[in-house]
Structure 1
């Protein structure tokens, strides 16, 4: 789902700061973002909560990675595909997931998101990687 909102200078990735899978994704983004396109924000942080409130995303936040880019927000598999488009190296190939129907992509995404703590574990503290 893509919804037009106010424009922003830098793309913001809002992620679950307590999830080990999300932490791994943040590390991949950090390593493969040579132009520093993304600002990474944990949804549990004050900034994350403020952005979620600003964009009226508090209901979907706990089970979705969210990308806010150029005045739009992207959820679930759309966010992952849009993030991949700006990455370098092998992670950029994830953008080709867009060839699958959204309903299939999001069903897979939702299944993994629902079981992410059980499958990948959970952290007590969120730490953003240093660039």
Structure 2
């Protein structure tokens, strides 16, 4: 998936993770990435934010259900298991080897991802609103990527 050039230019070159800020599982994944991204390479956007809504809409994805986390790296947009693999490659270290899930055929891996995504609120819960990060964490979000 490719974003329109004007949107891609606004986002910039840093790897970006777009995630559901109300999903408990997604919030845990976000905190995992924050903790293990020791070089602070990743930037973040919540799907509910104005920028998140714009990204989902530009890709023709639902702006209400957010059934995939997106990872934007070097102008390419990764979704589902490919997004997980891309994020793990970015944080590197010992986590890089887990990015091999990106080698699994999509017909095998993506249905499992989709099953979890469709049931994530029921299985893991949902926050009533997006979390409120401290100033250090908020600095990792792109402008317009919080809300």
Segments ≥4 residues shifted beyond 2 Å: 2-8, 50-53, 55-61, 88-94, 128-131
Aligned counterpart for 1:49 among listed residues 33, 53, 71: 53
DSSP 3-state at the match of 1:86: helix
Secondary structure of the residue aligned to 2:66 is helix
Structure 2: any 5+ residue segments left out of the alignment? 138-147
Q: Aligned-pair RMSD on alpha carbons?
A: 2.1
Give the match for residue 3 of structure 1: 2
Q: Of 83, 89, 99, which aligns to 2:87? A: 83
2:71 to 67, 73, 79: 67
Query: Is the contact between residue 89 and residue 99 of structure 2 (CA under 8 Å) also seen in structure 1?
Result: yes
TM-score, with normalisation over the residues of structure 1? 0.85
Task: Work out the CA distance in 1 between the residues paired with 2:40 and 2:132.
Answer: 14
TM-score, normalised via structure 2 length: 0.76
Tell me which protein shows more strand as a share of its residues.
1
Deviates more, 1:116-125 or 1:4-13: 4-13
Q: Is the 8 A contact 2:21 2:130 kept in 1?
A: yes
Summarize deviations over 1:30-53 as a string: whole Å, max 9, x none.
Answer: 011122221111100122113333
The answer on whether the counterparts of 2:2 and 2:59 sit within 8 Å (CA) in structure 1 is no
Aligned length: 129
Are residues 10 and 102 of structure 1, via their aligned partners in 2, closer, same or farther at CA, if it must alter by over 3 Å?
same
CA distance in 2, matches of 1:45, 1:38: 17
